[in-house]
Amino acid sequence: MRPTSDPAQYRHLSKAFLRYIAAEKRYSPNTVRNYGQTLDRFDSFAMAHRGHAPTLADLDGWKTADFRAFLASRRRDGVGAQTIKLDLSALRSFFKFLSRETGLKTAALAALRSPKAPKKLPRPIPMQAATALSGAADPEDDWQAHRNHALFALLYGAGLRISEALSLDWGDLPKPGQPLRILGKGGKTREVPLLDIVRVRIGTYRDALEDSTSDAGGAYLSGNAPLFLGARGKRLSPAVAQRALRLERAALGLDDSATPHALRHAFATHLLSAGADLRAIQELLGHSSLTSTQRYTEVDAGRLLAAHSAAHPRARG
């Protein structure tokens, strides 16, 4: 297939690209949606920039200045450097796909430099707060409260992303002494230990759920049933889980830095503070690059400097 002036060819390959990153690259639904939105914005810009619907034959002749003009339009929309960087990443993936399918030239886009986004460090929550969130629910509470505490315990005890935890089924739980297998970003599988205290929280939740849904004949506890169940009998949604944590942190007097992802950050920084190897933490978190994990060393160093400044007599001089 060669680039043509038919807009239908471009539209067809745009849809094929989104199917490709969803099915073959196994990008998350959020990433696929974001890439689709970037392509929609690029299409609108290309139409205004050239005065007609984008075609592959036209894009084949674009210069670096044309792509730079698109990024400049995004800046005028008021978006930050990180968003522009993500837009550029989506376009590069898309044009790489087009090049493979049609031979479209991509040198002009490859020559464009990504904007430098300000470094954003993780925001872990203190150990005391993480321990409180992952503690036991009141024995008199309903099964949903026990579910929430089991979820928070898993996020903090295993360093999972909220999407990874909510995708688990009952059948995914390993036998005692065996690791939990997690399907992470990009379809990569990793193994993490399942702490005894996390097993206890999940067991308490299971007992409460079984008592409340006994008339369902155990369907909610079968191997292929969601581990974390929503009130309507479906898989618990991230939005409901996040709302549950907001309510819990308010009850505990915690600030808004206490989020599901902050529990994952707490997992990493607390392991690092206890002397864990950075490579081991990388494997447990499922980071493809050690650079992502190294951010936690900066967080830990920042805490040491803050403690030094607060405590050392000369620092207050």
Note the Cα 316 to chain centre separation in Å: 40
- Pairing assessment for the beta strands 189-192 and 180-183 based on DSSP bridges: antiparallel
Residue 68, both tokens = 């730079």
Q: Would you say 241 and 151 are in contact if contact means Cβ atoms under 8 Å apart? A: yes
Q: Which of 41, 146, 249, 287 is catalytic?
A: 287
Is 256 exposed, middle or buried, given 0-12, 13-18 or 19+ CB atoms closer than 10 A? Answer: exposed
Q: Which of 92, 261, 295, 303 is catalytic?
A: 261
Q: Would you say 216 and 156 are in contact if contact means Cβ atoms under 8 Å apart? A: no
Of the candidates 252, 233, 250, 264, the one whose C-alpha atom is nearest the C-alpha of residue 151 is 264
Q: Which of 49, 92, 185, 246 is catalytic?
A: 185
Assess whether 314 carries a catalytic annotation. no
Assess whether 26 carries a catalytic annotation. no
Q: Which of 146, 149, 161, 206 is catalytic?
A: 161
Q: Which of 74, 249, 264, 270 is catalytic?
A: 264
Of the candidates 166, 140, 146, 142, the one whose C-alpha atom is nearest the C-alpha of residue 260 is 166
Give the angle 28-91-14 at the CA atoms, nearest 5°.
75
Assess whether 296 carries a catalytic annotation. yes
Q: How far apart are CA 42 and CA 273, in angstroms?
A: 45
Give the angle 156-161-165 at the CA atoms, nearest 5°.
80
Note the Cα 288 to chain centre separation in Å: 13
Q: Among all residues, which ones are annotated catalytic? A: 161, 185, 261, 264, 287, 296
